[in-house]
């Protein structure tokens, strides 16, 4: 197994982590009676994440744990994906 496959695999794992975290944020907002659409989740995920952050900061003074997981997973997906593409270049 080479480095490109490892980096690509990690990027895919981070992307799946981001999808799972987005769904958890969606469910949390839905339980709080916020108007959210599962159909538009991938498009509206940043808006929902920042709504979640704002609501949890108002309640406890700190952003909820899913917000940081969402930010970290999307950034790691980008970093590992770009690294795999750069290593693939001749």
Q: Which residue range is the domain that position 36 belongs to?
A: 3-88
Residue 36 contacts residue 29 (beta carbons within 8 Å)? yes
Query: Has residue 26 got a pLDDT over 90?
Result: yes
Question: Model's pTM, two decimal places?
Answer: 0.87
Of the candidates 83, 77, 79, the residue with the CA atom closest to the CA atom of residue 21: 77
Residue 19 phi, psi dihedral angles, 5° rounding: -65, -45
Query: Has residue 83 got a pLDDT over 80?
Result: yes
Chain segment 37-80, per-residue pLDDT in tens: 888 888 899 999 999 999 999 999 999 999 999 999 999 999 99
Alpha carbons 14 and 16: distance in angstroms, whole number: 5
pLDDT given for residue 1 in this prediction: 74
pLDDT given for residue 85 in this prediction: 93
Number of domains present in the structure of the chain = 1
Residue 86 contacts residue 4 (beta carbons within 8 Å)? no
């Amino acid at each position: 197994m080479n480095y490109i496959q490892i980096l690509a695999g990690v990027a895919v794992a981070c992307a799946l982590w981001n999808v799972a975290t987005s769904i958890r944020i969606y469910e949390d907002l839905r339980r709080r009676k916020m108007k959210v659409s599962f159909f538009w989740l991938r498009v509206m995920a940043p808006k929902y994440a920042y709504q979640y952050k704002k609501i949890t900061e108002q309640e406890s003074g700190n952003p909820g744990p899913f917000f940081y997981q969402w930010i970290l997973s999307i950034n790691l997906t980008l970093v590992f994906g770009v690294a795999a593409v750069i290593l693939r270049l001749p």
